[in-house]
């Protein structure tokens, strides 16, 4: 099976848009497909057709949808969907997908990200290694039901250098992208419920891990509060201090705006603008990602985001009173869960 030359040219146009400055799309595709650069040039010119397998590999790594390129219907939207599984699209592949997406956004001249969060945004988790490790384990064992995790219990200090490096780069890219985020009570409650479920179900290697995670979650919430106070994102340090705007490696002004909505209940939604492109990402079953570059879909979701933000309370910048109310409630929820678990431990539950 081979591709039409017009489709092929459009595919390579998309690949060029997604290739960061300073990198060669030809070299990247040659390495990805394990072919020579001359072979890539022949495909770019249309002298040689891309095979269906090559298109599949490109689509997986570059988030290019042939349907999206072809479909001009005003009533249909084409989505890319690559469910996570243990064989063809592993959890490490999923993390790489997110990293590559963030890198492209980070490298754009004009960029902005809008995030409706029904859980602690994945990118913030990367600033709290123990919480990130727990969430990654939870997703693989409980959400994805990986067979290799079925008999495992969560424990700390399980090192994975590949995932650590992917996480470091993803966090680096995210910190430099101006973002507007909307939180809700569920933003923190989701993680609390997951911790208690593992404690109650005996999925921790030792029960005290639940209390360690709550301590680290408390520190993460403090860090979120500090970023809201400053209006820009930064990596936490051991001293717990806040860098000044000129100490962060990007333009701090307008880097981080956060709203809080009392009644928000929806799947996580991410809208991204970069140069002349508009991307939309939706979660499916809490973790898998649906993505599209359909501008009509983006604009419709943008309107919904704007309406929701108008009906929300700003908690970043100078909004000290409202910010204190929200984060005090977050910390109260953590304290209540800690007491609940401590009592259960004393009773031998």
Q: How confident is the model at residue 52 (pLDDT cuts 50, 70, 90)?
A: confident
Mean pLDDT of 307-320: 91
List all residues 6 or more positions away from 64 whose beta carbon is below 8 Å from its beta carbon. 11, 14, 15, 18, 58
Mean pLDDT of 235-255: 85
Does pLDDT of 4 surpass 70? no
CA-CA distance, 203 to 157, in Å (whole number)? 16
Q: What is the pLDDT of residues 224-240, one digit of tens each?
A: 999 999 999 998 877 77
Domain segments of the chain as ranges: 5-70, 80-346
CA-CA distance, 345 to 315, in Å (whole number)? 36
Nearest C-alpha neighbor of 119 from the set 194, 191, 187, 221: 187
Burial of 126 (0-12, 13-18, 19+ CB in 10 A): buried
CA-CA distance, 118 to 293, in Å (whole number)? 23
CA-CA distance, 100 to 56, in Å (whole number)? 17
Mean pLDDT of 36-57: 87
Among the listed ranges 24-28, 90-94, 215-219, which one has the minimum average pLDDT value?
90-94
Pairing of strands 111-116, 179-183: parallel
pTM of the shown model: 0.77
What is the model's pLDDT at position 67?
63
Q: Tokens standing for 164?
A: 């650590």
Tell me the C-alpha to C-alpha distance, in Å, between residue 52 and each of 8, 49, 55, 164.
11, 9, 5, 33
Is 5-70 in CATH node 2.40.30.10?
Answer: no
CA-CA distance, 226 to 240, in Å (whole number)? 9
């Amino acid at each position: 099976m081979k591709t039409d030359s017009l489709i092929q040219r459009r595919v390579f146009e998309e690949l060029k848009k997604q290739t960061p400055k300073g990198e060669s799309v030809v070299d990247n595709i040659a390495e990805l497909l394990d072919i020579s650069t001359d072979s890539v040039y022949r495909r770019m010119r249309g002298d040689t057709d891309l095979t269906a397998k090559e298109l599949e590999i490109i689509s997986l790594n570059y988030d290019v949808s042939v349907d999206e390129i072809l479909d001009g219907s005003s009533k249909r939207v084409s989505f890319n969907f690559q469910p996570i599984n243990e064989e063809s699209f592993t959890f490490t592949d999923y993390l790489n997908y997110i990293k590559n997406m963030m890198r492209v956004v980070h490298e754009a001249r004009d960029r902005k990200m809008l995030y409706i969060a029904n859980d602690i945004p994945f990118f913030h988790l990367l600033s709290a290694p123990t919480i990130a490790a727990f969430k990654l384990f939870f997703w693989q064992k409980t959400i994805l039901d990986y067979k290799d995790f079925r008999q495992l219990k969560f424990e700390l200090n399980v090192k994975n250098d590949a995932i650590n490096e992917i996480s470091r780069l993803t966090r680096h890219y995210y910190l430099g992208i101006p973002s507007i985020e909307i939180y809700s009570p569920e933003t923190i409650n989701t993680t609390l419920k997951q911790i208690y479920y593992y404690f109650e179900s005996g999925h921790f290697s030792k029960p005290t891990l639940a209390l360690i995670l709550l301590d680290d979650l408390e520190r993460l919430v403090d860090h979120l509060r500090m970023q809201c106070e400053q209006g820009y994102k930064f990596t936490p340090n051991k001293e717990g201090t806040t860098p000044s705007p000129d100490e962060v490696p990007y333009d701090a002004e307008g880097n981080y705006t956060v709203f809080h909505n009392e009644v928000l209940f929806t799947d996580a939604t991410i809208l991204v603008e970069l140069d002349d492109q508009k991307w939309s990402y939706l979660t499916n079953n809490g973790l898998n990602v649906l993505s599209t570059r359909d501008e009509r879909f983006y604009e419709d979701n943008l309107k919904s985001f704007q309406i929701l933000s108008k009906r929300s309370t700003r908690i970043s910048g100078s909004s000290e009173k409202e910010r204190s109310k929200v984060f005090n409630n977050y910390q109260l929820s953590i304290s209540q869960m800690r007491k609940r678990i401590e009592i259960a431990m004393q009773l031998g539950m």
